[in-house]
């Protein structure tokens, strides 16, 4: 399989502003891989993608898969919002910022799906999974671990 050209990438994700700094991140989506930038020089992760490492200013920042495990750090439930494929605001739509296992303060924001999504709370363990949106893969989270509303 040939690597996707920049033009093909833009065609696959027409609603997203893709540039040279984030194109590898979005290519990762299409392969169902969440690739966050990690610095080869000092090992620090950062997100969203920046052209240099904010810690050491090295430009050796490499889109690197994360393990996908994390903890809910921020959580809102949208009762209204922008139209999106598969999102129905008649039930509150959770938007969770997840602190990823790789590094303190490294976070990724998406929704939570599956069992227990309706009562997910700050502090819950979640893991990365993928859905299809507008015909392309989209990274989301599902609950993992044993915690539930009744145990908190």
Q: Which two tokens stand for residue 123?
A: 């502090």
Per CB under 8 A, 101 contacts other proteins: no
Bridge partners (DSSP) listed for residue 96: 75, 110
C-beta of 3 vs 83, nearer to other proteins: 83
Selected from 27, 33, 38, 93, the binder of other proteins by CB under 8 A is: 93
Per CB under 8 A, 149 contacts other proteins: no
Give the nearest distance from C-beta 127 to other proteins in angstroms. 16
C-beta of 51 vs 54, nearer to other proteins: 54
Q: Are 138 and 130 in contact (CB under 8 A)?
A: yes
Site for other proteins in 5-64 (CB under 8 A): 15-17, 46-48, 54
Which one of 1-9, 63-71, 81-89, 143-151 is the stretch in contact with other proteins (CB under 8 A)? Answer: 81-89
Cα distances (Å, whole numbers) of residue 47 to 14, 100, 144, 149: 21, 11, 23, 30
Q: How buried is residue 112: exposed, middle or buried, by Cβ count under 10 Å (0-12/13-18/19+)?
A: buried
At 137, is the secondary structure helix, strand, or coil? strand
Cα distances (Å, whole numbers) of residue 50 to 6, 16, 138: 18, 17, 21
Per CB under 8 A, 135 contacts other proteins: no
Selected from 41, 58, 105, 132, the binder of other proteins by CB under 8 A is: 105
**Binding residues vs other proteins (CB under 8 A):** 15-17, 46-48, 54, 73-82, 84, 87, 92-93, 95, 97, 105-111, 122-123, 133, 138, 140
């Amino acid at each position: 399989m040939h690597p996707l050209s920049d033009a093909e990438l833009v065609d696959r994700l027409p609603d997203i502003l893709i540039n040279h700094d984030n194109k590898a991140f979005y290519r990762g989506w299409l392969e169902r891989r969440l690739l966050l930038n990690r610095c080869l020089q000092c090992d620090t992760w950062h997100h969203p993608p920046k052209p240099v490492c904010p810690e050491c200013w090295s430009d050796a920042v490499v889109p690197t898969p994360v393990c996908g495990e994390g903890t809910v750090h921020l959580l809102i439930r949208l009762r209204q919002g922008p139209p999106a494929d598969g999102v129905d605001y008649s039930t509150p739509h959770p938007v969770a910022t997840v602190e990823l296992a790789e590094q303190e303060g490294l976070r990724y924001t998406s929704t939570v799906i599956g069992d227990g999504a309706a009562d997910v709370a700050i502090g819950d363990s979640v893991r990365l999974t993928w859905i299809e949106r507008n015909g392309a893969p989209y990274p989301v989270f599902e609950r993992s671990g044993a915690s539930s509303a009744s145990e908190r």
